[in-house]
Amino acid sequence: MVDEKELAYAAGLFDGEGSVTLVRHRENRTPSPQVSIASTDYEVVAWFQTRFGGSVVQTAV
């Protein structure tokens, strides 16, 4: 369960570092939303994953 302070924190981070895109998968041409947060601080994205689910993808710098 996410409390009100955590939701406010998440909203602030998403406002600054987040994005929403529509992705079409090859097998199903219906677009689906993809929500992402970009950060160089692993603890931030791990916190989001713990509270909201999803996966963490690390890209080369």
Helices and strands in the chain, H and E counts: 2, 2
The confidence band for 61, taking pLDDT boundaries of 50, 70 and 90, is low
Which pLDDT score is estimated for 2? 83
Percent of the chain predicted with pLDDT > 90: 46
- Is the Cα torsion angle 8, 12, 18, 21 positive or negative in sign? positive
Whole-angstrom Cα distance, residue 11 to residue 24? Answer: 26
Whole-angstrom Cα distance, residue 56 to residue 10? Answer: 16
Average pLDDT for residues 23-41, to the nearest whole number? 86
Which pLDDT score is estimated for 58? 85
Residues in Cβ contact with 37 at an 8 Å cutoff, skipping those fewer than 6 apart: 13, 14, 17, 18, 44, 45, 48
Give this prediction's pTM.
0.72
pLDDT of 28 over the 80 cut: no
